[in-house]
A and B are shown apart, each in its own frame.
Chain A
Amino acid sequence: MTDLLAQRRRRLRRRAALVALTGLAALLSVLADLMSGPSGLPMGEVLRALAGSEDVARGTGVIVWQVRLPVAVMALLVGAALSLSGAEMQTVLDNPLAEPFTLGVSASAALGAGLAIVLGLTLPGLPPIWAVPANAFLFALGALGLLQLASAIRGGGTEVVILLGIAVNFTAAALLALVQFVAAPDALQQLVFWTMGSLANARWEGIGVVALALALCLPFSLAAAWKLTALRLGTDQAQGFGLDVARLRRWTLLRVSVLAAASVSMVGVIGFVGLAGPHIARMAVGEDHRFLLPASLFAGALLMSLASIASKLLVPGILLPVGIVTSLVGLPIFFLLVLRRGAPA
């Protein structure tokens, strides 16, 4: 019996170490992100520039602080936010395919962006630079609001939410196609670029928005870890343990809404991270959400940061939209992992 407990302790320690390791890898990846680009910088140079050292060329300081750091930090935060929201969504909707991208949130955000870019339909009184993100944010929230409503009407049932999410996805895509059909060539180009997801326009204000969303949601996510784990055992059992399952679904979907809307509105459509981050985390640390949630957070951050590096290196001299890279590079790796480990639970 004490053997069993000691063995369990070892497992818990190993999981905690894996979580910490993923976090560390994400940070190292950010460093690599800062080093890579049209003009490669050695690590020492980057670290000195970050430290604000005097003996760094002014050009290097500008490249690190104003060109590369916003992109690298945005990649880190967006990856973390999308992956965390994917993990929570997969648990509360009890579906391994659930994530903001598959359930129409990204498509709705793209529709909102399209209305702003092509038709100039924006919220009044906003500076032009915020018009597109604001529209995307509102549409993403609206899509998740619809899912919430479906969940509330059906007493917390999950199938209806999933089906509605897929319907929202296709409806938004069709409407976006309509917007694209009537768009002028330059507006169309801008919109297509937006739907590919890009970190190139990352600015500190946008980073602030995503960071704020994470700071608001993460404590509540972690506090709900036991409850989310209980949900994995089935609704009946979770309710038997004294859990208000409908309420848990409602609040979790609200957190997912805020995280996904903030991310998508700042960087455009980025698929796959919200799906793969949680799956990779689950393969590494299992279903105990005390470990799964932080592991998902770090795994998403790492994936997105690696994608940011790849987007610079894949075609030398050209910065690919990161949304293309996450799918193109990430999916084969993901499937390799899944096939090697067997189907994720």
Chain B
Amino acid sequence: MSAVTSGEGLQIVGLHVARGKRAVIEALDLPPFASGELAVIAGPNAAGKSTLLRAAAGLLPSRGQITLDGQDLHRLSRAGRAARIGFMPQRPEGRSALPVLDALLVAMNAGGGIAGGTLRGRAAEAHALAVLDRFGLAFLALRPLTALSGGQLQAVALAQAMVRDPRLLLLDEPTSALDLGRQYHLLSEARALAREGRIVIAVLHDLALAAQWADRMVLLDGGRLAASGPPEAVVTPARLAEVYGVNARVERCSQGRLMVMVDGPAKAHDRTEAGDALA
């Protein structure tokens, strides 16, 4: 079948995504995402980060090539895509009074069921509860979603994305409602999920957090690839001036982690220099 090309991992080549009539992403090529690594997509507002993630999840129509382990995602059915991809939205709504465990069962059953719909009844319940337990959420199982805090909702959304044991996990700003401790727990969980052999891609706004957790970073700007590679190669003063328009320092703390400190707006000649450096 021509849909199957060689290449393990997630490959994105020549991707176009439009929202309405406006092209948000045009002809985007990204280096392949490999199993076992936690990749972080960063970039300024309106860079196309969420759009990229939603296109990969199949929530937005797109043109171009998105292949997962050689399989063209555009040719898969929705159910087929949902079986391989877990998507955690930016803002889980939490307006439903459905109990948490039921929300996980819905995530399993609504799109045709996991494991070909064979996991049903008590077995399905036990599976959903085990997933909640893995994330330390079993105590919430019977509470309605409306009674959860923003942080708990995000944690439940991660459990929902994981309940079908997807090969590819897409997290859209998973830490936006979390305090320091919960940020740590969620990202170490995301890293652990990657180490188990999944591809995990998270959109993060906080560059220091991104630099701390990412095995690899992808920096987007205006729907284009600005930089990609290990965090220390991506998060540099020149690039921050270029992409974010700020005059920033990137320094290592006593433990060797990258810290980002913004001192002010980028001066005009900084931006040109950065532009020259990129050219």
A residues with CB within 8 A of B: 1, 4-5, 7-8, 11, 226-227, 229-230, 232-234, 236-244, 286-288, 345
Hey, which chain B residues are within 8 Å of A229, CB to CB?
A: 98, 102, 106, 110
A286 vs B147: C-alpha distance when bound (angstroms):
14
Quote the shortest CB–CB distance from A220 to chain B (angstroms): 16
CB of A237 within 8 A of CB of B93, answer yes
Quote the shortest CB–CB distance from A260 to chain B (angstroms): 25
- Interface-facing stretch out of B41-49, B81-89, B212-220: B81-89
Query: In the complex, which residue of chain A has the Cβ closest to the Cβ of B110?
Result: A230
- A4-B129, A4-B142, A242-B112 known; A230+B106 contact, CB < 8 A: yes
A163 vs B126: C-alpha distance when bound (angstroms):
43
Q: Pick 28 A–B contacts, CB within 8 A, sort by A.
A: A4-B129, A4-B138, A4-B141, A5-B129, A8-B99, A8-B101, A8-B142, A11-B142, A227-B110, A229-B110, A230-B110, A230-B111, A233-B103, A234-B93, A234-B95, A236-B87, A236-B90, A237-B89, A237-B157, A240-B57, A240-B59, A240-B86, A241-B106, A242-B79, A243-B78, A287-B96, A288-B102, A345-B95
A-B contact sample (9 more), CB < 8 A, given A230-B111, A242-B112, A345-B96: A1-B133, A227-B110, A232-B95, A233-B96, A236-B59, A237-B92, A237-B93, A240-B89, A288-B102
Interface membership of B199, Cβ < 8 A: no
Hey, which chain B residues are within 8 Å of A242, CB to CB?
A: 78-83, 110-112
**Main SS at interface, chain B:** helix
CB of A234 within 8 A of CB of B142, answer no
A259 vs B142: C-alpha distance when bound (angstroms):
34
Hey, which chain A residues are within 8 Å of B161, CB to CB?
A: 240
Quote the shortest CB–CB distance from A150 to chain B (angstroms): 17
Quote the shortest CB–CB distance from B155 to chain A (angstroms): 14
Query: In the complex, which residue of chain B has the Cβ closest to the Cβ of A288?
Result: B102
Hey, which chain B residues are within 8 Å of A11, CB to CB?
A: 142
Quote the shortest CB–CB distance from A285 to chain B (angstroms): 11
Closest 4 pairs between A and B when the two form their complex, measured CB to CB:
A242-B111, A242-B82, A230-B110, A240-B87
A7 vs B106: C-alpha distance when bound (angstroms):
19
Interface membership of B125, Cβ < 8 A: yes
A226 vs B98: C-alpha distance when bound (angstroms):
12
CB of B89 within 8 A of CB of A236, answer yes
- A4-B141, A4-B142, A5-B125 known; A241+B96 contact, CB < 8 A: no
A185 vs B110: C-alpha distance when bound (angstroms):
55
A7 vs B160: C-alpha distance when bound (angstroms):
21
